[in-house]
Amino acid sequence: MEKKKFGVVSLGCDKNRIDTETLLGKMKNNFEIVNDPKLADIILVNTCGFIEASKQESIDTILEMAEYKKNYNCKMLIGTGCLTQRYGDELFNLMPELDAILGVNDYEKLDLVINNFFDKGGKQILCNFSDENINQGERVITTGSYSAYVRISEGCNNFCTYCIIPKIRGKYRSRNIEDIVNECTSLSNQGVKEIILVAQDTTKYGIDIYDKKMLPKLLEEISKISDVQWIRLLYCYPEEITDELIEEIKNNDKVCNYIDMPVQHISNIILQKMKRRTQKEEIVKNISKIKEKIQGISLRTSLIVGFPGETNDDFSELKEFIEFIKFDKLGVFKYSREEGTEAYDMPDQIDEEIKEARYDELMLIQQQISKTTNRKKIGNVYQVIIEGKNDKYWFGRNYEMAPEIDGEIFFKCDKILNIGNYVNVKIVDSLEYDLIGVVCDESC
């Protein structure tokens, strides 16, 4: 019997991508996985429901994929992910285009849902909330053969006033070290050389099952996998970065000198309203310590502008902070008023025009910082993982660059290079966010 063709559109963050890859791993034996939605009998949209822009993108994508039911082979359209977990019943009633809706804890029932649809017809909804299970298992990697994200925990206990994630994903729960190392070993055996560790807060890893923070130990164990060359850390809350973690990053050659730390704001007044568990003084102290201890450290952060009650003074303080710290990489989000969060009902909501102006101002400041920082890298030699080639250049990333968010290094080479291999590149020019180089080893 010919297998049905199964296609997926994955939206949102890298943690959502891991869910998609795990889901594909479960489906690949019974279905033919296809990349072209025109060929798919079944299309699944793994949605994001974090902020207004991502919700709208998810809805638009579902409607776009519904057109394939009219014009091509698609017979079943499924919605999963954070948006469906958050608004399951509402979506079920408002979007007749969907034949089935599953929440983030129901992927193991996907086979059953599909079989029921083709055997009996009718619409189905399964959006069970769980504080227990973690989606894991064999994955179909969608990030190329050389780099993969690995989730080390699920959920969050922080309950920041702007964030809906704890109500979607549940309480913080870590995976055990053995399971994570086994997954990293399996990925390495498939050719993965860069492991990117993610969670809602990676720095709290292990606190719930080992009674202490175990991220340094986890890094040590993963680094024992011989063919893993880079281990990258995302989403480290600044107040949770310990001296032990700093020393592990400093002394472990496989751990990239790169930390993504979502600061969100620096005004103590706004931090308190956000229910962030830190203050300006602690953030500045920890960043100074990290820069002092780890030579060549690259720091990325994310900030929120336009949070309820953010005054001109609060915003000025934020500008002064980023001009003082000079983060290597920085992303800015305009506050999104999300129902179900504490901040939704806060007074002094900020006008969208002000949010937009503040966003533009911060990004312009960071553009100048990045331009100046990159110019200082001319003459440096970096190990670069090769990601592809355009009409003129090969391109890749060094340890300072996470995939998709941190720019690229472009370089010329007349020889055919292998994607996923490493070359040494000398920087000869710079742009605002990207670098230009030449290969300076025997690879060419």
For 427-443, what is each residue's pLDDT tens digit?
Answer: 999 999 999 999 986 65
Domain boundaries, the chain: 5-126, 147-374, 381-439
- CATH 3.40.309.10 is held by the domain 381-439: no
Is the pTM of the predicted complex or chain greater than 0.85?
A: yes
Q: What superfamily does domain 147-374 belong to in CATH?
A: tm_1862 like domain (3.80.30.20)
Q: What integer pLDDT is reported at residue 240 of this predicted model? A: 93
Percent with pLDDT over 90 in the chain: 88
Residue 178 vs residues 222, 233, 252, 369, 441: alpha-carbon distances, Å? 10, 19, 20, 41, 38
Which residue is it, tokens 């983060």?
Answer: 327
Q: What integer pLDDT is reported at residue 1 of this predicted model? A: 66
Q: What integer pLDDT is reported at residue 415 of this predicted model? A: 86
On whether the CB atoms of residues 125 and 162 are closer than 8 A, the answer is no
Segment 391-440, tens digit of pLDDT: 889 999 999 999 999 999 999 888 889 999 999 999 999 999 999 999 98
The two three-digit tokens of residue 428, written as one number: 């000869």
What are the strands, taking DSSP E only, across 159-316? 173-174, 194-198, 230-233, 255-260, 298-305
> Considering only CA atoms, which of 27, 43, 190, 28 is closest in space to residue 111?
27
Within 13 A of 146's CA, how many CA atoms are on the CB side?
15
**Class for the domain spanning 5-126:** alpha beta
Q: At 110, is the pLDDT very low, low, confident or very high (cuts 50, 70, 90)?
A: very high
The two three-digit tokens of residue 224, written as one number: 């024992």
Asked if 5-126 and 381-439 have one fold, the answer is: no
83 burial type by CB count under 10 A (0-12 exposed, 13-18 middle, 19+ buried): buried
Mean of the per-residue pLDDT values for the chain? 94
> Considering only CA atoms, which of 139, 119, 66 is closest in space to residue 96?
66
Q: What integer pLDDT is reported at residue 442 of this predicted model? A: 62
Q: At 329, is the pLDDT very low, low, confident or very high (cuts 50, 70, 90)?
A: very high
Round to whole Å and give the CA distance between 207 and 215. 9
Largest CA distance in the chain: 68
Segment 189-234, tens digit of pLDDT: 999 999 999 999 999 999 999 999 999 999 999 999 999 999 999 9
Judged by DSSP in three states, 193 sits in coil
Percent with pLDDT over 70 in the chain: 99
For residue 325, is pLDDT > 70?
Answer: yes
Round to whole Å and give the CA distance between 201 and 244. 17
> Considering only CA atoms, which of 110, 148, 138 is closest in space to residue 17?
148
